[in-house]
């Protein structure tokens, strides 16, 4: 594929603020024929070069102009990760408008709230499912919305809503506009200000309705400087570069995936590979073998559980090798954890033995063979899981940040890893732990501009002297590393007056491959209890091997053998905690938790208040 | 993609014949070994260079070509054919009529090999096309019967048309395997001993190189057919013909092509076989020969090139090995060697011997070696069909998957 970019007549942008769009254009000029992204389509990874990518961005930007989108307007995207997501995102920033993303799982009611709260003028709905979420609410539900773009025409062709427009039609519109007004987009790019809001990232809203955090071009630039281009992150000190492969699979509307996919791509030219869907992540991982990989704890736990299940199902000889390999991994993991993540001669020796026998093949199977940096963040993870991957030789580092500070807070740097902490603050940023409340606060150019149309909420988020209140309680470990205790509002105070952090206990429970969800309860009560959701696949597999018949999730959860199995896990976990922190009773959830049923947020976090309401009977039965 | 064997960015990449460096290296090693074999230089297996072994190996190469053809028809497109020996005979007699010199009672045009060898394939293919319409009408067992009929019609024809096939029981001489421009002296002769590039080679070794070259060409051709449109159409017909037709696979066209291609392979192999042996009696082209090919693809692994080649080597070489083992046992018994007790169980020495069942000479008591082979093939076909439907190739796949899946099982 050759580039169609015309150099003649392109306005000179030197001196303009380096927005994400500016950076994409730079890469496209420097190396138009290099592959920028791949998307799996009809079983084959179709490639898009930088030149073609920029060409489409430019056309889409003209299309937006033709649709009447002006600087400061909002464009919303409701889609799984795919090239069109990134193209429209960059195109929107190019014309100084604002992108906001919706989770593919957002139900109709939340779509209504998010579109109206942001005041989106143009909305991209991936396919019929997402289009229906908008159209179902009737023609008058969205006073500001003017156009609905769709990428997958299947099932939509017969719709006659005048607001609908097919993606190719939109690009055609853009092409005509581009011919009539050449340079119009570049003109706007040249005017970009650091203080321009480039995106609204909606908080997950575990308590109230989601709020749109405004991130500016300067925020993004600061994030790229501090997180993406911090040389201490990888063991070899090599920054992300065009030879790196990234798998894009977490929702792009979340700030973490935006940073580790789109922004890393814009700033350092890594190659994006779009996973087909969240269900195929493990298969896609194996194909792509990414070199940089970010995952949320849920994914790490899932990979961890899959490894154990598959090893248990292996033939006897393989099981024997696996038992040996896992023992070596445990030794290596413990040794590395004790030495800041580095190998000592002892763990190096164990690794040399285990690698050709077991680790290398295992890493190839889980798709992390070429992985040189892996991250875990967005939620707390159990140190045991990290230690396990460290033992296999997958360099996983936990980091911490939140939307409101562009995710710039702390990170475990290579050679100085402390498991159980979220690492050290990035050099040169302001990060303090409030003496009184123990709350972590940050102050640096990554701090967001405020919540969209919510000046009150914005004011509450900052202290009087301008520090951002993260809402997380933290501790200094050895004066350098930060350990997160919990969200302030999650801390449990028992009737005995003890302060307990539930997430630590929950994560310890979730280390077991059999447990998917755990919610510790005990605020104002005499002792702690837990609601536990089993991992359907692994427990189902376990039941199958023991010849326990079951029909549904609920049926499986109610089996006495399963309750016994979970009791054993709970007992083991209790041994790691002091008496007051032990789970006295638990109940298994009768259903799998779901975003659409209101038990989880779009990022799969528990909505604790809602859960306590919904499973009141279960909770009360334990007291 | 380097270091990422499962990342395919185009269909061409996914369909490549030798996708990995390992496979390419293995290919080169295999070629080198194949060249060393007839020179008697294969380490540990030098005896394979002896001419009595080379004759069998040459035979295996020819049978390999024919089996590849049957594999395309039966293994890939699912049309069970028992008539393969008929198409081989057609090829062989086309060759002899075109290539041999005319005699008092037989026809012959004395044309060079570059005419009679392709013609043998083409005439067989044309006959295949004529038979194909029946295959479109009938399937499964019925098609097997129709093709079985061909074998008997053929046997009758070869016996009665003496001008083509020679006298029953004696046959007629076939043209020699030699490349000539026209009816003059040959440029290259595969049928007589002599030096090539300074190395003294037997006629069998020369034929070996010629057959090996043809086998590789035919195998690549078959592989290409299998991985492109015809192969996909055939496989669709094999898996469910009605579903294939619904998806737009033209049944008539593709079944006809399958028969044509398969018969072409058979025709060429038949001509080579007869020319290699020099003289073939009409009765050779019988049902047993056809069944031998069915055995090859079933034991080797239906629908795969590697399996077909493995099956050919196995089926053609096993009788020779069984013979060698039997004679060795008889010798052990006679000399009272270490394994005499084993041989005692195996070899029938006198009519009142209860345990032994094999005899070393055809007239003796018990099974002859030939009969033992027939029994062995029967048993093997049953065992493979029940226990390992993918044949020897299936065993290989399982061994490979064991390591591919490491350290998991699935």
Distance from C-alpha of B244 to C-alpha of A502, rounded to nearest angstrom: 59
Beta carbons of A495 and A526 less than 8 angstroms apart = yes
Asked if the C-beta of A250 comes within 8 angstroms of chain B's C-beta atoms, the answer is no
Q: Compute the C-alpha angle A443/A447/A453, nearest 5°.
A: 135
pTM, to two decimals? 0.86
pLDDT at B364: 64
Task: Give the least confident one: A53-62, A609-618, B32-41, B368-377.
Answer: B368-377
Q: Are B66 and B185 members of one domain?
A: yes
pLDDT beyond 50 at A1:
no
SS3 assignment, position A486: strand
Task: For residue A10, name the pLDDT band (cuts at 50, 70, 90).
Answer: low
Q: Are B147 and B216 members of one domain?
A: yes
Q: What are phi and psi of A271, to 5 degrees?
A: -95, 130
pLDDT beyond 80 at A12:
no
Give the C-alpha distances (Å, rounded to integers) separating A296 from A116, A271, B158, B224, B231: 29, 20, 76, 45, 44
B28 domain residue, yes or no = no
Q: Are B278 and B310 members of one domain?
A: no
Q: What is the mean pLDDT of chain A?
A: 92
Cβ–Cβ below 8 Å for A365 and B8: no
Straight-line distance from the first to the last Cα atom of chain A, in angstroms, rounded to the nearest whole number: 67
pLDDT beyond 70 at A241:
yes
Cβ–Cβ below 8 Å for B406 and A310: no
pLDDT beyond 60 at A9:
no
pLDDT beyond 90 at B15:
no
Cβ–Cβ below 8 Å for A288 and B7: yes
Which residues lie below 8 Å from residue B95, measured CB to CB, with a gap of 6+? B116, B117, B119, B120, B174, B175, B270, B271, B274, B275
* Positive or negative torsion for Cα A107, A112, A116, A122: positive
B52-107 per-position pLDDT tens digit:
889 999 999 999 999 999 999 999 999 999 999 999 999 999 999 999 988 888 88
Q: What are phi and psi of A82, to 5 degrees?
A: -165, 165
pLDDT at A7: 45
Distance from C-alpha of B295 to C-alpha of A150, rounded to nearest angstrom: 57
Q: What is the mean pLDDT of chain B?
A: 89
Domain residue ranges of chain A, discontinuous segments joined by +: 20-192, 491-620
Asked if the C-beta of A360 comes within 8 angstroms of chain B's C-beta atoms, the answer is no
Q: Are B114 and B248 members of one domain?
A: yes
A40 → chain B, closest CA residue: B9
Q: Which domain holds residue B80?
A: 52-285
pLDDT at A464: 92
Which residues lie below 8 Å from residue A180, measured CB to CB, with a gap of 6+? none
Task: Give the least confident one: A132-141, A168-177, A292-301, B321-330.
Answer: B321-330
Task: For residue A176, name the pLDDT band (cuts at 50, 70, 90).
Answer: very high
pLDDT at A45: 95
What is the nearest CA distance from B223 to chain A, expressed in angstroms?
Answer: 22
Q: Are B312 and B238 members of one domain?
A: no
Tokens of B326: 């039997």
Distance from C-alpha of B48 to C-alpha of A139, rounded to nearest angstrom: 84
Taking only residues 319 to 358 of chain A, the set having a beta carbon closer than 8 angstroms to any beta carbon of chain B reads: 321-322, 325, 358
B275 domain residue, yes or no = yes
Task: Give the least confident one: A138-152, B99-113, B184-198, B281-295.
Answer: B184-198
Q: How many CA atoms lie within 13 A of A285 on its CB side?
A: 25
> Residue range A62-77: average pLDDT?
96
Q: Are B341 and B276 members of one domain?
A: no
B44 domain residue, yes or no = no
Task: Give the least confident one: A382-386, A582-586, A588-592, B194-198.
Answer: B194-198
Q: What are phi and psi of A197, to 5 degrees?
A: -70, 130
Q: Are B134 and B74 members of one domain?
A: yes
> Residue range B27-51: average pLDDT?
88
Chain B CB contacts of A272 under 8 Å are: none
Beta carbons of A174 and A61 less than 8 angstroms apart = yes
Per the structure, the count of domains in chain B is: 2
Q: Are B129 and B278 members of one domain?
A: yes
Question: What DSSP string describes A379-448?
Answer: S---HHHHHHHHHHT--EEEEE--GGGTT-SEE--TT---TTS-BEEPTT-EEEE-TTT-EEEEESTTS-
> Residue range A130-135: average pLDDT?
95
B308-351 per-position pLDDT tens digit:
999 999 999 988 888 888 888 888 888 887 888 877 777 777 76
B125 domain residue, yes or no = yes
User: What CATH topology corresponds to A491-620?
Assistant: GMP Synthetase; Chain A, domain 3 (3.30.300)
B16 domain residue, yes or no = no
A557-590 per-position pLDDT tens digit:
999 999 999 999 999 999 999 999 999 999 999 9
Question: What DSSP string describes B301-336?
Answer: -TT-HHHHHHHHHHHHHHHHHHHHHHHHHHHHHHHT
Distance of alpha carbon B159 from its chain centroid, rounded? 25
A268-285 per-position pLDDT tens digit:
999 999 999 888 999 999
- Taken as a whole, chain A contains a residue count of 623
Residue at which a domain ends, from B223, B255, B285: B285
A284 → chain B, closest CA residue: B7
- Percent of chain A scoring above 70 in pLDDT: 98
pLDDT at B104: 84
A288 → chain B, closest CA residue: B7
Distance from C-alpha of A209 to C-alpha of A272, rounded to nearest angstrom: 32
pLDDT at B19: 82
Cβ–Cβ below 8 Å for B407 and A315: no
Q: Are B273 and B325 members of one domain?
A: no
Beta carbons of B407 and A361 less than 8 angstroms apart = yes
- Percent of chain B scoring above 90 in pLDDT: 50
pLDDT at A64: 97
Q: Which residue has the tokens 């990290």?
A: A386
Task: Give the least confident one: A27-36, A312-321, B329-338.
Answer: B329-338
Q: Are B184 and B274 members of one domain?
A: yes
Q: Which of A37, A41, A42, A44 is the best mutation test for B, with the most CBs of B within 10 A?
A: A44
pLDDT beyond 90 at A519:
yes
Chain B interface residues (partner A, CB cutoff 8 A): 3-4, 6-11, 14, 402, 405-410
A322 → chain B, closest CA residue: B407
B293 domain residue, yes or no = no
Distance from C-alpha of B151 to C-alpha of B154, rounded to nearest angstrom: 5
Asked if the C-beta of A285 comes within 8 angstroms of chain B's C-beta atoms, the answer is no
Asked if the C-beta of A38 comes within 8 angstroms of chain B's C-beta atoms, the answer is yes
Chain B CB contacts of A245 under 8 Å are: 4
What is the nearest CA distance from A120 to chain B, expressed in angstroms?
Answer: 36
Task: Tell whether domain A20-192 is in CATH 3.40.50.12780.
Answer: yes
Give the C-alpha distances (Å, rounded to integers) separating B266 from A51, B84, B121, B133, B290: 53, 7, 7, 19, 11
B298 domain residue, yes or no = no
pLDDT at A54: 97
Task: Give the least confident one: A9-13, B188-192, B257-261, B276-280.
Answer: A9-13
Residue at which a domain ends, from B285, B315, B333: B285
Residue, of A11 and B384, whose pLDDT is higher: B384
B406 → chain A, closest CA residue: A361
Q: Are B158 and B216 members of one domain?
A: yes
B174 domain residue, yes or no = yes
pLDDT beyond 80 at A231:
yes
What are the beta bridge partners of residue A215? Answer: A199
Task: Give the least confident one: A97-101, A115-119, A576-580, B213-217.
Answer: A576-580
């Amino acid at each position: 594929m050759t580039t169609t970019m015309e150099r003649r007549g392109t306005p000179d942008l030197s001196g303009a603020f380096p927005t994400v769009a500016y950076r994409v254009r730079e890469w496209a000029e420097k190396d138009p024929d290099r592959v920028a992204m791949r998307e799996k389509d009809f079983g084959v990874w179709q490639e898009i070069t930088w030149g073609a990518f920029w060409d489409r961005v430019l056309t889409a930007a003209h299309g937006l102009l033709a649709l009447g989108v002006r600087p400061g307007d909002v464009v919303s995207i409701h889609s799984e990760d795919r090239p069109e997501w990134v193209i429209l995102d960059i195109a929107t920033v190019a014309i100084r408008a604002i992108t906001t993303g919706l989770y593919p799982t957002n139900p109709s009611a939340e779509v209504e709230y998010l579109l109206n709260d942001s005041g989106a003028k143009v909305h991209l709905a991936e396919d019929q499912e997402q289009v229906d979420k908008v159209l179902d609410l009737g023609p008058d539900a969205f006073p500001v919305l003017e156009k609905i773009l769709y990428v997958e025409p299947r099932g939509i062709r017969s719709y006659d809503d005048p607001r609908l427009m097919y993606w190719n039609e939109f690009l055609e519109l853009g092409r005509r506009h581009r011919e009539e007004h050449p340079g119009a987009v570049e003109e706007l790019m040249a005017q970009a200000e650091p203080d321009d809001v480039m995106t609204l990232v909606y908080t997950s809203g575990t308590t109230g309705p989601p709020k749109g955090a405004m991130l500016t071009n300067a925020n993004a630039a600061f994030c790229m400087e501090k997180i993406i281009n911090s040389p201490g992150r990888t063991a070899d000190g090599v920054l992300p570069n065009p030879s790196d492969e990234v798998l894009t699979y977490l929702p792009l509307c979340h700030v973490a995936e935006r940073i580790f996919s789109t922004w890393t791509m814009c700033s350092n030219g890594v190659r994006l590979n779009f996973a087909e869907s969240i269900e195929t992540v493990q298969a896609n991982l194996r194909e792509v073998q990414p070199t940089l990989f970010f995952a949320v704890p849920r994914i790490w736990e899932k990979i961890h559980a899959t490894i154990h299940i598959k090893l248990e199902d292996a033939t006897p000889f393989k099981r024997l090798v696996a038992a040996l390999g896992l023992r070596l991994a445990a030794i290596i993991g413990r040794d590395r954890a004790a030495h800041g993540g580095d190998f000592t001669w002892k763990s190096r020796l164990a690794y040399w033995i285990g690698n050709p026998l077991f680790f290398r093949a295992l890493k190839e199977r889980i798709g992390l063979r070429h992985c040189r940096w892996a991250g875990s963040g967005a939620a707390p993870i159990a140190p045991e899981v990290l230690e396990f991957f460290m033992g296999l030789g997958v360099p996983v580092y936990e980091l911490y940040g939140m939307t409101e500070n562009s995710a710039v807070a702390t990170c475990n740097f290579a050679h100085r890893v402390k498991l159980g902490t979220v690492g050290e603050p990035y050099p040169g940023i302001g990060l303090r732990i409030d003496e009184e409340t123990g709350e972590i606060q940050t102050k640096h150019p990554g701090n967001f501009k405020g919540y969209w149309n919510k000046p009150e909420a914005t004011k509450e988020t900052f202290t009087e002297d301008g520090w951002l209140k993260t809402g997380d309680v933290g501790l200094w470990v050895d004066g350098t590393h930060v350990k997160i205790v919990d969200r302030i509002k999650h801390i449990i105070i028992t009737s005995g007056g003890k302060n307990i952090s539930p997430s630590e206990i929950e994560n310890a429970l979730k280390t077991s491959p059999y447990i998917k969800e755990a919610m510790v309860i005990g605020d104002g009560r005499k002792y702690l209890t837990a609601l536990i959701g089993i991992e359907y696949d692994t427990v189902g597999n376990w039941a199958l091997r023991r010849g326990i018949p079951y029909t549904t999730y609920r049926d499986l959860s109610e089996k006495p053998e399963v309750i016994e199995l979970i009791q054993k896990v709970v007992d083991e976990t209790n041994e790691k905690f002091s008496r007051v922190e032990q789970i006295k009773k638990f109940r298994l959830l009768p259903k799998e938790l779901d975003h659409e049923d209101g038990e989880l947020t779009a990022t799969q976090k528990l909505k604790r208040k809602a859960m306590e309401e919904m499973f009141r009977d279960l909770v009360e039965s334990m007291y | 993609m380097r270091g990422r064997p499962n990342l395919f960015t185009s269909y061409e990449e996914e369909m490549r014949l030798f996708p990995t460096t390992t496979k390419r290296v293995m290919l080169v090693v295999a070629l080198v070994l194949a060249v060393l074999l007839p020179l008697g230089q294969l380490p540990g297996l030098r005896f394979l260079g002896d001419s009595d072994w080379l004759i069998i190996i040459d035979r295996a190469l020819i049978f390999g070509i024919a089996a590849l053809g049957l594999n395309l028809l039966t293994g890939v497109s699912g049309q069970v054919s028992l008539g393969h020996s008929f198409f081989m005979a057609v090829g062989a007699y086309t060759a002899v009529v075109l290539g041999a010199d005319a005699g008092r009672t037989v026809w012959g045009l004395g044309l060079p090999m570059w005419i009679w060898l392709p013609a043998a394939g083409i005439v067989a293919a044309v006959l295949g096309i004529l038979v194909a319409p029946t295959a479109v009408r009938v399937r499964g067992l019925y098609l097997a019967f129709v093709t079985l009929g061909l074998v008997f019609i053929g046997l009758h024809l070869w016996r009665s048309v003496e001008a083509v096939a020679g006298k029953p029981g004696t046959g007629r001489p076939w043209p020699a395997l030699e490349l000539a421009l026209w009816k003059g002296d040959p440029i290259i002769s595969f049928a007589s001993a002599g030096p090539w590039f300074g190395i003294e080679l037997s006629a069998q070794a020369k034929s070996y190189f010629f057959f090996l070259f043809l086998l590789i060409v035919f195998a690549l051709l078959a592989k290409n057919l299998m991985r492109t449109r015809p192969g996909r159409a055939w496989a669709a017909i094999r898996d469910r013909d009605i579903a294939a037709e619904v998806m737009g696979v033209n049944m008539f066209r593709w079944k006809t092509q399958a028969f044509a291609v398969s018969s072409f392979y058979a025709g060429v192999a038949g001509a080579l076989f007869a020319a290699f042996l020099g003289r073939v009696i009409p009765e050779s082209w019988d049902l047993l020969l056809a069944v031998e090919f069915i055995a090859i693809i079933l034991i080797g692994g239906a629908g795969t090139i590697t399996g077909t080649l493995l099956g050919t080597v196995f089926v053609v070489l096993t009788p020779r090995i069984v013979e060698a083992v039997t004679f060795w046992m008889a010798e052990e018994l006679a000399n009272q060697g270490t394994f005499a007790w084993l041989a005692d169980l195996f070899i029938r020495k006198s009519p009142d011997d209860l345990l032994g069942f094999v005899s070393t000479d055809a007239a003796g008591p018990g099974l002859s070696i030939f009969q033992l082979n027939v029994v062995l093939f029967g048993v093997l076909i049953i065992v493979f069909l029940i226990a390992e439907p993918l044949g020897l190739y299936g065993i290989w796949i399982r061994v490979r998957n064991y390591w591919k899946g490491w350290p998991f099982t699935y």
